[in-house]
Amino acid sequence: MNKWLEGYLRCFTSDRPKDWASWLALAEWTYNTSEHSSTGFTPFEMVYGQEPPRLLPYKPRTTAVQAVEDEMRSRDFILTLMMAAMRKSLKLSPRYFEPFQIIQKIGKVAYKLDLPKESKIYPVFHISCLKKKIGTQVNPNPRLPTVMENGAMAPKPEKILERRLKKKGNRTGIDFLIKWKGANKEDATWVDAEELHRTYPELVGEFF
């Protein structure tokens, strides 16, 4: 049951694992209204003697899944499994990230992926770390986290608290006082605008 609950909560909390408690009631309902292999009935049926009402009606044949090929080939889209050491919240953080293309097969059990340059992650993965992308629809999975030179995950900016001009040689630059996600305002730090732009290019348009 614990493994099932962990997988369920991961699906809904994704990149906000601290919100797991708000999903417990729905997780309990789902567990109690799912058929158990040992009895052939749902816990709800075992207690009340009738089928549970459905929260959402299901219409058969509203989804289609293509057959999974026996071997992943070059140019297939896949989802990349990030190693546990690179995840901040080990249990409930997402296991896979947005689809990336295979650009080369390395030996018999490894693949080189077309990762964005800013990821700073070694692009070769063992086949056990990869999952085939099924179908043509791209699900809204998180992007690869920004990684610093030492290999640690870079904290993500949440809000600009202040701006200040700073003299840099013969020109004037801008520093931002950044509040980081998961940190208090007291832990905010000043960051050079160019460095912020270079480290977090995905935030262009949001902060710049």
Biggest CA–CA distance in the chain, Å, is 81
Domain extent at residue 128: 77-132
Q: The tokens 């701006």 sit on which residue?
A: 163
Residue 159 has pLDDT above 80, yes or no: yes
Residue 140 lies in a domain: no
Residue 83 lies in a domain: yes
Q: Which residues pair with 130 in a beta bridge?
A: 80
Residue 185 lies in a domain: yes
Residue 65 lies in a domain: no
Residues 81 and 126 in one domain: yes
Of the pLDDT bands very low, low, confident and very high (cuts 50, 70, 90), residue 141 is very low
Name which of 95, 96, 64, 66 is nearest 78 in CA terms. Answer: 96
Of the pLDDT bands very low, low, confident and very high (cuts 50, 70, 90), residue 1 is low
Residues 82 and 128 in one domain: yes
Structure tokens given for 27? 């997780």
Q: What is the pLDDT of residue 160?
A: 86
Distance, CA of 92 to CA of 172 (rounded, Å): 44
Q: The tokens 């690179």 sit on which residue?
A: 86
Residue 197 lies in a domain: yes
Q: What is the sign, positive or negative, of the torsion defined by CA atoms of 169, 176, 182, 199?
A: negative
Residue 62 lies in a domain: no
The average confidence (pLDDT) of the chain is 67
Report the domain count for the chain. 3
Residue 72 lies in a domain: no
Residue 175 lies in a domain: yes
Q: What is the pLDDT of residue 41?
A: 81
Which value, to the nearest 10 degrees, does the dihedral of the CA atoms of residues 62, 67, 68, 73 take? Answer: -120
Structure tokens given for 121? 């992650």
Strands 77-81 and 96-106 come out as antiparallel
Distance, CA of 104 to CA of 107 (rounded, Å): 10
CA-based end-to-end distance of the chain: 46
Tens digits of per-residue pLDDT, 39-91?
A: 878 888 888 777 776 554 434 444 444 443 444 444 344 443 333 333 444 45
Name which of 164, 168, 153 is nearest 15 in CA terms. Answer: 153
Q: What is the pLDDT of residue 186?
A: 80
Residue 93 has pLDDT above 80, yes or no: no
Of the pLDDT bands very low, low, confident and very high (cuts 50, 70, 90), residue 107 is confident
Of the pLDDT bands very low, low, confident and very high (cuts 50, 70, 90), residue 175 is confident
- Report the predicted TM-score, pTM, of the whole model to 2 decimal places: 0.30
DSSP 193: H
% of the chain exceeding 90 in pLDDT: 0
Residues 161 and 114 in one domain: no
